[in-house]
Amino acid sequence: MDTITTETLGERSDIMAITKPTSWRIGTVVSILSEAPGLRSYTFRFEDKVQHDAGQHYEIRLTAEDGYQAARLYSAAMPANGTSNTLQLTLALMPSGEVSPYIFSDVNVGDQLEIRGPFGGHFVWNSTIRRPILLVGGGTGIIPLRAIRLSHQQCCADEDIQLLYSVKSYDDMAYKYELFPRNGTPADDITITFTGPPPKGWKGHTGRINETMLEQALYSFSTPPITYVCGPTPMVESITQMLVRIGQDEDDIKAERFGPAS
Partner 1 sequence: MALINFGFKAPRERDDRVPPGQSVVTGWPVLTYGPTLKVDTATWSLEINGSVKKPITLTWESFNALPKTTLTTDIHCVTRWSRLGMRWDGVLLDELIRQAGGLMTDAHYVIASSYGGYTTNLPVVDVINGQAMIATDADGQPLSSEHGGPARFFVPHLYFWKSAKYVNKLTFVDRDHPGFWEINGYHNHGDPWREERYNGDY
Report the interface residues with partner 1, using CB under 8 A: 20-22, 24, 26, 61-73, 98, 102, 106, 112-114, 119-123, 233, 237, 240-241, 243-244, 250-251, 253-257, 259-262
State the Cα–Cα distance between residues 220 and 184, nearest whole angstrom: 23
Q: Give the total residue count for the chain.
A: 262
Question: Cα–Cα distances in Å, from 107 out to 101, 102, 144, 233?
Answer: 10, 7, 23, 29
Question: Cα–Cα distances in Å, from 256 out to 22, 68, 140, 198, 252?
Answer: 21, 29, 11, 26, 14
Q: Judged by CB, which is closer to partner 1: 7, or 106?
A: 106
CB atoms within 10 A of CB 247: 10
User: Minimum Å distance from CB 1 to partner 1?
Assistant: 18
User: Minimum Å distance from CB 211 to partner 1?
Assistant: 14
Q: Judged by CB, which is closer to partner 1: 119, or 177?
A: 119
Q: Judged by CB, which is closer to partner 1: 27, or 79?
A: 27
User: Minimum Å distance from CB 216 to partner 1?
Assistant: 20
Q: Judged by CB, which is closer to partner 1: 81, or 233?
A: 233
Q: Judged by CB, which is closer to partner 1: 173, or 225?
A: 225
State the Cα–Cα distance between residues 75 and 93, nearest whole angstrom: 14
236 three-class SS? helix
User: Minimum Å distance from CB 17 to partner 1?
Assistant: 14
User: Minimum Å distance from CB 25 to partner 1?
Assistant: 10
Which amino acid is it at 244? V
Q: Judged by CB, which is closer to partner 1: 99, or 213?
A: 99
User: Minimum Å distance from CB 9 to partner 1?
Assistant: 31
